[in-house]
Amino acid sequence: MKFFLHVCTVGRCCLAIYTIMLSSLHAQTSRSIYAAGVDTVFLFKPGTGQNLGQEAKYFPLNIFGLPDTTAREDVPATRPEQICSLGFGGEIIVGFKNAVLVDRPGADFTIFENAFKYLGNRIYAEPAKIAVSRDGVRFVEFPFDSVTLRGCAGKTPTNGNQSPFNPALSGGDSFDLAAIGMDSVRFIKITDISAIVLNNPQHPFWDVTISGFDLDAVVGLNLAPLLLSTGVNVQNEEPIVDIALTNDIIAIRRTTNNQAFSMRCELYALNGTLILSQGLSSAETFIHTSALARGAYFCICRGGAYVFSQTILLW
Ligand SMILES: [Ca+2]
Ligand SMILES: [Ca+2]
Whether 66 is covered by a domain: the verdict is yes
CB 312 within 8 A of CB 296: yes
CB 151 within 8 A of CB 209: no
Per-position DSSP letters for 78-131, written without gaps between them? --TTT-EE--BT-EEEEE-TTEEEE--SS--EEEE---EEETTTEEE---EEEE
Mean pLDDT (the chain, rounded): 84
Task: Give the number of other Cβ atoms within 10 Å of residue 307's Cβ.
Answer: 16
175 alpha carbon to ligand 2 midpoint, in Å?
Answer: 8
Say yes or no: 253 and 198 in one domain. Answer: no
Q: Omega into 60 within 30° of 0, i.e. cis?
A: yes
The pLDDT score that the predictor gives to residue 17 is: 24
Mean pLDDT of 287-310: 83
253 alpha carbon to ligand 1 midpoint, in Å?
Answer: 39
Residue 13 predicted with pLDDT over 50: no
**CA 136, 138, 140, 145 torsion-angle sign:** positive
Residue 144 predicted with pLDDT over 80: yes
The pLDDT score that the predictor gives to residue 66 is: 96
- Please list all protein residues whose beta carbon sits less than 5 angstroms from ligand 1, which is an ion: 114, 126, 214
pLDDT interval class at 62 (50, 70, 90): very high
The pLDDT score that the predictor gives to residue 14 is: 27
Angstrom distance (rounded) from CA 37 to CA 112: 10
Which of the ligands is closest to the CA of residue 114? 1
Among 54-58, 92-96, 203-207, 285-289, name the one with the lowest average pLDDT. 285-289
The pLDDT score that the predictor gives to residue 239 is: 65
Mean pLDDT of 70-98: 96
- The residues facing 308 across adjacent strands are 232, 301
Say yes or no: 190 and 298 in one domain. Answer: no
The domain of 219 spans 32-225
Say yes or no: 208 and 254 in one domain. Answer: no
Residue 7 predicted with pLDDT over 70: no
125 alpha carbon to ligand 1 midpoint, in Å?
Answer: 6
Say yes or no: 213 and 232 in one domain. Answer: no
Say yes or no: 139 and 123 in one domain. Answer: yes
Which of the ligands is closest to the CA of residue 176? 2
The domain that contains 265 carries what CATH number?
Answer: 2.60.40.10
Say yes or no: 205 and 235 in one domain. Answer: no
The pLDDT score that the predictor gives to residue 64 is: 96
Say yes or no: 215 and 249 in one domain. Answer: no
The pLDDT score that the predictor gives to residue 290 is: 85
Say yes or no: 210 and 118 in one domain. Answer: yes
pLDDT interval class at 159 (50, 70, 90): very high
Residue 11 predicted with pLDDT over 70: no
pLDDT interval class at 23 (50, 70, 90): very low
- The residues facing 40 across adjacent strands are 95
Per-position DSSP letters for 237-293, written without gaps between them? SS-SEEEEEETTEEEEEE-----SS-EEEEEEETTS-EEEEEE--SSEEEEE-TTSP
CB 98 within 8 A of CB 177: no
Number of domains in the chain: 2
Whether 19 is covered by a domain: the verdict is no
190 alpha carbon to ligand 2 midpoint, in Å?
Answer: 18
Which of the ligands is closest to the CA of residue 157? 1
The domain that contains 50 carries what CATH number?
Answer: 2.60.120.260
Say yes or no: 240 and 208 in one domain. Answer: no
Residue 270 predicted with pLDDT over 80: no
Whether 15 is covered by a domain: the verdict is no
34 alpha carbon to ligand 1 midpoint, in Å?
Answer: 28
Considering only residues 240 and 5, tell me which one the structure prediction assigns the higher pLDDT.
Answer: 240
Mean pLDDT of 247-271: 80
Beta-carbon contacts of 302 under 8 Å, excluding residues fewer than 6 positions away, are: 263, 264, 266, 308
218 alpha carbon to ligand 1 midpoint, in Å?
Answer: 15
Among 225, 251, 277, the domain-final residue is 225
Whether 46 is covered by a domain: the verdict is yes
Say yes or no: 94 and 53 in one domain. Answer: yes
- Give me the phi and psi of 287, to 5 degrees please: -115, 120
The pLDDT score that the predictor gives to residue 203 is: 98
- Give me the phi and psi of 34, to 5 degrees please: -135, 175
The pLDDT score that the predictor gives to residue 8 is: 27
pLDDT in tens, 256-267: 666 677 888 889
Mean pLDDT of 188-195: 98
CB 255 within 8 A of CB 48: no
The pLDDT score that the predictor gives to residue 238 is: 63
Angstrom distance (rounded) from CA 254 to CA 241: 4
- Predicted TM-score (pTM) of the model is 0.72
pLDDT interval class at 19 (50, 70, 90): very low
Among 225, 252, 279, the domain-final residue is 225
Mean pLDDT of 209-230: 89
CB 164 within 8 A of CB 110: yes
59 alpha carbon to ligand 1 midpoint, in Å?
Answer: 17
pLDDT interval class at 143 (50, 70, 90): very high
312 alpha carbon to ligand 2 midpoint, in Å?
Answer: 24
Residue 229 predicted with pLDDT over 90: no
Say if strands 241-246 and 274-279 run parallel, antiparallel, or are unpaired: unpaired
The pLDDT score that the predictor gives to residue 27 is: 30
Say yes or no: 43 and 163 in one domain. Answer: yes
The pLDDT score that the predictor gives to residue 237 is: 54
306 alpha carbon to ligand 2 midpoint, in Å?
Answer: 42
Say yes or no: 42 and 187 in one domain. Answer: yes
151 alpha carbon to ligand 1 midpoint, in Å?
Answer: 16
127 alpha carbon to ligand 1 midpoint, in Å?
Answer: 8
Angstrom distance (rounded) from CA 23 to CA 234: 14
